[in-house]
Chain A
């Protein structure tokens, strides 16, 4: 019987305490903010959308290797002697044309692992977080600043350079081994109509 009345008392008492707590909160200042009107201040280290400063990129592929979800795709073409790409702001010489630097931001997991290995500090995470799109394909960001014709030109130059080099090499070996059989150079038609591209050269390039 005592228990019965204690239960009733407990119910009313604890409910009253709870109601007191909620009532006090009724007049407290809200902790939320009106988001699109007022934006939260992000910290310096905020890790949101990736940004690549292409002026500084040397195409070293370190970020792409560090990425655990493979969201960065980089393709490069070696710059050949007459072209000088200059140096980055950190003083590293640029030796490669970065023909393709795609980040699929839809895949990105914002872990920031790509930021650390970059030797020129050109890839970084910014505080931009509003970049939703209606079409998923728009989330593939092309950072490369080169136009398709420039890419073709760079490729062409490289192939020409390679071919020239191969020809020079060939002629030098031919000079050495005069009379011996000629190595078969595989003829390949490229877009610009360049001459040849032998597998040996690729090997030596890599």
Chain B
């Protein structure tokens, strides 16, 4: 048979594309349906977050901007920033605040993972799990709304405390949720996780070997999906995470190879179960009475210093590098975005796969463009 003359086709996936999760643009070089190369281009959602922070009047004003980095997990972002500034100021926050923060951060983790697995189903072509996830996420948002009045961008965790105390029925609401939620996970598993077509689409696709994941400094579920047992909540405990008992979920390659898309997906599903465990313990231990603000000066003026504080957000290691020049506003705020780092593995793991796999891989990395571009 004479050899067919074929040529590669370059095609733009995004920035306007239903499954690039925002405004990511991936330049695909295709040989038929096979991807020869995938080059992500970012920057379509750049809002000068870091530069803005430098021109704020005080450290508190940065928090609404921090919310808007990873807008589906705003609580976790606030927590990281608050911890960073608190370490600079060397202040201790009250016990009750720590518990509320942990509960909020873990609820946020569940909410964020629900969105991740829901949209992942959508990427693969299943529509229904997405709305089921939203139904349950709504319950978490209701708890947040009752606590701080906002549903998405909370501005709740402040430097040295919280904006409000939680409402009086907070514990009951959280208990209701942790009783309601675990059976729903089974529903997702029946509908999506163990579906044969879903497994076929995700197992052995986009395999990220542990060494590669470490070389790219991936973190969060992407790293754990590759079987690396690393979770900042346990390995470098911040806040009061060292008081709780929970397992770090890692991918085991149950349906295919370790580090495939299914592993990254299942890590998220099981992390939700672990978050429920943490919340259960935190609600039991949380003191009923107490102050929700530490003794923070009205004008936050950290000493001249620089600090890097890192926390485990739903997407991985979120670090804040803050330089203070001793004035009211930060000299420099740099966010170490987990999504940005995780996205960098895309070209490495997508070569040789198909177009539909690119969608599956991007979905399994679970990026939020607001955080990548900042």
Residues on A facing B (Cβ under 8 Å)? 7, 10-11, 13-15, 17-18, 20-22, 25, 31, 42-47, 65-66, 68-69, 109-113, 116, 125
Contact = CB atoms under 8 A, between A and B. Distances in A.
A45 B64 contact: no
A43 B146 contact: yes
B164 A45 contact: yes
Contact of B56 (A11, A44, A68): A68
B150 interface: yes
Interface in B177-200: 187, 190-192, 194-197
A68 B58 CA distance: 9
A47 B149 contact: yes
Interface in B112-139: 128, 132, 135, 138
A31 B135 contact: yes
Given A21-B187, A47-B149, 8 more contacts: A11-B196, A17-B195, A21-B190, A43-B146, A66-B61, A68-B65, A112-B155, A125-B149
A113 B61 contact: yes
B153 A109 contact: yes
B64 A111 contact: yes
A179 to B, nearest CB: 49
Contact of A111 (B147, B155, B197): B155
Given A43-B149, A109-B153, A18 B135 contact: no
Contacts of B147: 45
B159 to A, nearest CB: 12
A66 B61 CA distance: 7
Interface in B39-73: 56-57, 60-65, 67-68
A135 to B, nearest CB: 25
A17 B150 contact: no
Interface residues of B, number: 33
Interface string B145-177: 111111001010000000110010000000000
Nearest to A13: B196
Contacts of A21: 187, 190-191
27 contacts: A7-B196, A14-B194, A17-B190, A17-B195, A20-B190, A21-B190, A21-B191, A22-B128, A31-B135, A31-B138, A42-B145, A43-B167, A44-B167, A45-B146, A45-B147, A47-B148, A47-B150, A66-B57, A66-B61, A68-B65, A110-B150, A111-B63, A111-B67, A112-B150, A112-B155, A113-B60, A113-B61
B64 A68 contact: yes
Residue with the greatest number of chain A CB neighbours at <10 A, chosen from B67, B132, B196? B196
Nearest to B146: A43
Contacts of A11: 196-197
A18 B191 CA distance: 4
Contacts of B146: 43, 45
Contacts of B153: 109-111
Contact of B190 (A7, A18, A125): A18
